[in-house]
Each structure stands twice: as C-alpha cells, then as structure tokens.
Structure 1
C-alpha cells in the first residue's frame, strides 16, 4: 500500500488541510493519506498548541467521512522532540509492506535541506509537493530530484494561526472549518481567550 504522510499540528484542522489531503489522495498514485498529528514541532512554541488528543480528535472528526484519509497519532509514542526521519524509520519497521511518502507545501520543500538526515529521506521516500503562493525559488538540486513530485493541487492560503486569532477576536470562522471541527471547537470554547 502506498501511503502519503501529511504532517501538521492541525491547531486547528481546517478546510485547507482537508482539501489538500483529499486532492492528493484522489489525484495521485497514493492509496491513502495519513494526517500525522505532531505533538510538538521544535520550531513552534508548545504553549500555543491545544492538547495533543484534542487536535487528533479534530483530525478524526474532519476525516471520518473520507475513506482514503486517516488520522495518525504515531508521533505521540516517539521521544520528543521528534524528527521526520525517525518517524519514517519507525513506520517502515511497523508496516514493512507499506511504501511511505511525504506530503508538504513548497515552502517546506525550500527548507528541506535543513532537516535532520534529509538526504536519507530523499533516498528512500517520494515527496509530493503542493503549491503555495509567494514561495521563493526552490533549490534546483532538490527540485530536480526524481523523488520530488509537484502536485497540481488547489492553492489554499488559509492558516490555523489566522483562524485562532479570528476566534479570539469573536469572528465567525465556521466556513473555514470542517463542520464537525467547528462544532467541536464551539462546544469546548477553544481559542476563545
């Protein structure tokens, strides 16, 4: 089985995440897309994150009607801070018959050379790259790698930060969220203060 791994804090999960994950699941050679909820990105302040299990629940609620999309808590069980190369090794060991690829935006591809053991990732895993607005030119050496696949996905410029700030300001963000995620946030009063 070919599985694409879409990593994120999903703080909160929004329709942009869902559109990209579903587009890649439907219009690539991947069989499934796993949305991997990251417990703590070393580049983000942990204080801004909702509890890991609330974020996992939002991904579950958003994807339960999409059979090719699966929430994953695989990184919850790994030592923190974790690196993608370690997650990939762990998954390959746990699911030896699966072929794992990464899914990332062009902005992340630009910083791939800063990732721990990025050469190992590129040697062993395909990377599906979706477009972003206003990205710098991609490093030509990385862009030319045969494992990099540009995906003609819709450009979604919607950020979880914008949604959190809008909720705090009392704005109606429901159109930006999968319906069940919006209900979950409302019920729990998340991001209100």
Structure 2
C-alpha cells in the first residue's frame, strides 16, 4: 500500500513554504509521496484573485520538477465544483485502491476543519497530518486518534504575501522557486 499525502491548495502561486512542507512531510517517513492537489476552487476562499487553473497547475509542476516524491495533480479539475476534499478523497480512494491517502493541512485549516464538508467522515476514514502555522496553536491532547501535529518547521510565507509583493513592485524571488519567478511576476503584476 503506497502512503500518499494529499496536500491541497490553490497554489496561487506555489511558494517555497509549500515545497519545504511537502519535503518535510516526506522526510518524517509517515508517507511515501506527496501529491500537490491544485484546487480549482476552494469553497472557503474567494475566487477573485485566483489565476487560471491551467496556469497555476503548470507553474506548480514546473516549480517541483525533479523533486523526488512530490507530484502535482489536476485530479480535482474533473470533479464537481467547488472542490470539497471529502469528494476528492472518496474519488481517489475508489480510483487508486492500492494507496492509503493521508490529508496534509496547516494548523490554520485545522482551526476551521469543523466547517469542512463531511469533516467527521474525513477524520474517521483518513489520517490527517497538521503542519504548524504562526498564530494557530493546536492542543495535541484534544486531537482525534487519526490526527497528528507534525514538526515540519514553521514557514512564514503565503501566496497572498507573494501576490501583494508583486503588485507593489517588489521582488518575491526569495519566496518562490527561481524556476517560476519571472512567470509569476508577469502573471500577478
């Protein structure tokens, strides 16, 4: 059984924090690979600033090209919108019976997890690994048995921060992979 971590997000754009977290999850040994699941529409986010699906997918693929154990998936593009992780996990489990899927989320998402569609079903049927986010403390004693907080390190960068820097004319090259810097600057200015 291949243990596959699903790391969903808009990746609008992908940044070095995303990649560092995926690498850290792999290095901890609880999963065999990470699928960066590019989401066409997160039901808890506004779509106003969202770059075209294909552009975000292509940039994400380019950013992680050659990184062992990290793959980019457009699987949600063919599912109904908005993208509910419960639907995604159900479909993935059906289509890939040789894999055990694990959900990788930030502490900020865990704080609102009760608002996720079929949150209790996800908790009951899939392991969840939470990575730390500044300002979002997790009481590990209160976590369900399938949910664990993991020490991936803290990465204080967000896609919003990258987009804001570009709009202000600042160079975000230290926050995003060099392989996509020029494209991201052009697309988000």
Partner of 2:48: 47
Partner of 2:171: 172
Task: State whether residues 110 and 139 of structure 1, in contact with CA within 8 Å, keep that contact through their aligned partners in structure 2.
Answer: no
Q: Give the distance between the partners of 1:86 and 1:128, measured in 2 at CA.
A: 19
Structure 1 residue 139, shift from structure 2 partner: 8.6
Structure 1 residue 138, shift from structure 2 partner: 4.4
Q: CA RMSD in A?
A: 1.4
Q: Give the distance between the partners of 1:88 and 1:67, measured in 2 at CA.
A: 23
Q: Deviations over 1:104-157 (max 9, x none)?
A: 11111111112111111111100011111111554964x1x1111211111011
Secondary structure (helix, strand or coil) at the match of 1:176 reads coil
Structure 1 residue 47, shift from structure 2 partner: 2.2
Partner of 1:163: 162
Task: State whether residues 109 and 129 of structure 1, in contact with CA within 8 Å, keep that contact through their aligned partners in structure 2.
Answer: yes
TM-score (norm 2): 0.95
Q: Does 1:103 align with 2:104?
A: yes
Secondary structure (helix, strand or coil) at the match of 1:85 reads helix
Task: State whether residues 110 and 138 of structure 1, in contact with CA within 8 Å, keep that contact through their aligned partners in structure 2.
Answer: no
Unaligned runs of 5+ in 1: none
* Poorly superposed stretches of 4+, deviation over 3 Å: 136-141
Count of residue correspondences: 188
Task: State whether residues 8 and 38 of structure 1, in contact with CA within 8 Å, keep that contact through their aligned partners in structure 2.
Answer: yes
Unaligned runs of 5+ in 2: none
Partner of 1:10: 11
Q: Give the distance between the partners of 2:167 and 2:126, measured in 1 at CA.
A: 39
Q: 1:128 to 1:137 in 2, by over 3 A?
A: closer
